[in-house]
Every structure is written in structure tokens, then in C-alpha cells.
Amino acid sequence: MSNLRPSLELVVPVAAGTWGLNDIIRSLRESREETHNIRYRGQIRELPSREALTNILGGLSAALFPTHYGQPDLTDESIDYFVGEKLNVALNDLAEQVRRGLLFISHHDADGKESDQPVNISHETLEREALQITRNFAEQLRYIRDLLVTDLQAAYQGDPAAHSVSEILLCYPGMTAIIYHRFAHALHNLGSPFLARLISSIAHSTTGIDIHPGAEIGGSFFIDHGTGVVIGETAVIGQRVRLYQAVTLGAKRFPTDENGVLIKGNARHPIVEDDVVIYAGATVLGRITIGKGSTIGGGVWLTQTVPPASSITQAQTRNH
């Protein structure tokens, strides 16, 4: 029985304050500052805040759909004041986050190559550019809302389980993902790609749907169920397209230059034309085209262009 008793050495607690913190802190500083410095351009920068951006997205969503994402008891007299207050706060906060995001935009040298040298931009210049981007974004909010209404209608008309547009706005992760994507895509195109990427990350964390802000998505877009959907940076999606869960619109390969460095920015994701349906688990890779009115079955692995009105199943792809 004595062999079953625990050793006293295993149960004696470590005395407080004996962690060797000085050595640990010193080694971490060495990694941070010298051995493995991962700061952008090697400089300390102000990072955009995920918490602030999450609040901004909530404010913008409430401004576009006040009674659903804002206050359900708004009246005809109070709703415009509510929208104005939400926009004023959200856009002021957004301008600051845009300014911070601009610090992380790649700069290029005289030969057009990305420079690894720090670029000093004055605070006034950054602030002026951030304000202009934010003003341009604000001007697009009506267009973004009009587009989102087509997405909302597509979800209601395309899902027999949907009993109201309120249910879609409040309960469908696909609707949340496309709202955030419409915001992110506008900022991406206006010259704030870092912040747009952060918005897509927030959407991914919230919904399980990963849409790169560079992806071009037409109106009346519907993601049903949604979890696991991935849409790459250079994907182009037409009008009235429907995707189901776990669909991937990805790249087939990643070309490199003569030095083996990945070539970024080239068109490498699919083009999905109007009125296409892609069912659960389908993987569509490369710069191929899914012709108008086609149906891609569940679980299909597709790397070749298909003509309009095609119906592709797993059996057909196995035969290829």
C-alpha cells in the first residue's frame, strides 16, 4: 500500500514569486526586438481595434435596418433621429479605424515593387485620407442597403423554412455574413483593405462564413445554412446565386515568381455567373467559369469550366 502514496515532492506548491520572470521577460524582448521581430516594417504601429470595429458594424447595421438591429419601438418621428445618431457615432469611429488601417497598406518603390523600407506619412495626411475614405463610404450606404434588400428577398423567396424577413435578419448567419461583406467590400475598393480584412475576420468568427472582402458578389445573393462557406479574394459572383453550407470557391494553385515568392493579386478564383446554385460541400477551384443557370451538386470537386445550364453531379466528375 505504501507504493500507492503520492510523493511529497509532487504536492508541495511552488512558492509565489519564483517564476524567474526577469529571465523570461528578457528572452521575450530579445525575440520581439531582434530574433523574430514581426512588426510591420519593424515599427510600432497603432492597430485597428476589433472591439471598436464590432461596435461600428453594429451601429451601421442599425442605421440600415433600425427596428431590427436598433430599437423595435421606433416611431415615424423618432426613427430618423435614431439613424442620424447611429451614423454620426459609427462614422466618426470608423474614420479613426480607417486611419489606423492605412498604416498597414503596402507601399511600392519607383520600380513598382513592394518596398520593405518604412514609409513615414504625416498624421495630417493619414487623417485627411481616412476622412475622405469614410465620406465616400458613407455615400455608398444607400446603395449597400438597396443591395442588401435584394439579398434579403432572395433568402425569403429561396428558403421555404423562412417565415418572415425579420427571421432572416435576426437568425440567418448568411444574412449577417453578406451584410458585413457589403461593408467590407466597399472599404476594400475605397482603399482600406486592412480594415476590410478585419471586418471579414469578425464576420467569419461570428458566422463561420469566410468571404474575402475583395470578392465581387452581385445582388440577390443567398447563403443557406452557411457554416464552412469559403469565398476567395478574386471570386466573381453574378446575380441570384445561391450557395449552401461548406461550399468553397477557392484557388487551384498558387503561382510563384522566379525567386519562388508567391505572386499575389492575380485572378485565381472562380467566376460564377447568374442564377447558379451550388449545393453543400461542393469545391470549385481555379479561374474557371460556372455558366449561367447551372446547378453544381453536393460534394462535387470541380476544376473545369462548365457551360450555361449545366447540371454537375459527383458521378460526372468521377468519370472525368
Mean pLDDT of 265-276: 95
% of the chain residues with pLDDT over 90: 72
Which residues, other chains included, contact 188 with Cβ-Cβ below 8 Å and sequence gap of 6+?
A: 196, 197, 213, 214
In tens, the pLDDT along 160-188 reads 999 999 999 999 999 999 999 999 999 99
List, by residue range, all CATH 2.160.10.10 domains of the chain: 228-320
Report the C-alpha gap between 287 and 306 in whole angstroms.
12
Q: Is 170 left (phi over 0), alpha (psi -120 to 50) or beta?
A: alpha
Q: What Rg, from alpha-carbon coordinates, does the chain have? A: 25
Mean pLDDT of 248-257: 88
Where do we find the cell 484557388? 251
pLDDT of residue 317: 60
Task: Let me know if 243 is exposed, middle or buried by CB neighbors in 10 A (0-12, 13-18, 19+).
Answer: buried
pLDDT of residue 4: 54
Which residue, 155, 145, 292, is CA-closest to 220?
155
pLDDT bracket for residue 109 (50, 70, 90): very low
pLDDT of residue 162: 96
pTM across the whole model: 0.86
Higher confidence at residue 117 or residue 10?
10
User: Does 14 score more than 80 pLDDT?
Assistant: no
CATH fold label, 228-320 = UDP N-Acetylglucosamine Acyltransferase; domain 1 (2.160.10)
Average pLDDT, the chain: 89
Q: Is 191 left (phi over 0), alpha (psi -120 to 50) or beta?
A: left
Report the C-alpha gap between 260 and 112 in whole angstroms.
19
pLDDT bracket for residue 319 (50, 70, 90): low
Higher confidence at residue 221 or residue 31?
221
Among the listed ranges 1-5, 128-132, 189-193, 248-252, which one has the minimum average pLDDT value?
1-5
pLDDT bracket for residue 258 (50, 70, 90): confident
Helix axis angle for 141-158 and 173-190, nearest 10°, is 150
Superfamily of domain 47-107+122-209 in CATH is serine acetyltransferase, domain 1 (1.10.3130.10)
Mean pLDDT of 232-259: 93
Local structure of 36: helix, strand or coil = coil
Mean pLDDT of 11-16: 56
Where do we find the cell 482600406? 192
Report the C-alpha gap between 242 and 147 in whole angstroms.
15
pLDDT of residue 189: 98
List, by residue range, all CATH 1.10.3130.10 domains of the chain: 47-107+122-209
Higher confidence at residue 271 or residue 42?
271
Report the C-alpha gap between 315 and 131 in whole angstroms.
54
Report the C-alpha gap between 128 and 125 in whole angstroms.
5
Report the C-alpha gap between 278 and 245 in whole angstroms.
9
User: Does 133 score more than 90 pLDDT?
Assistant: yes
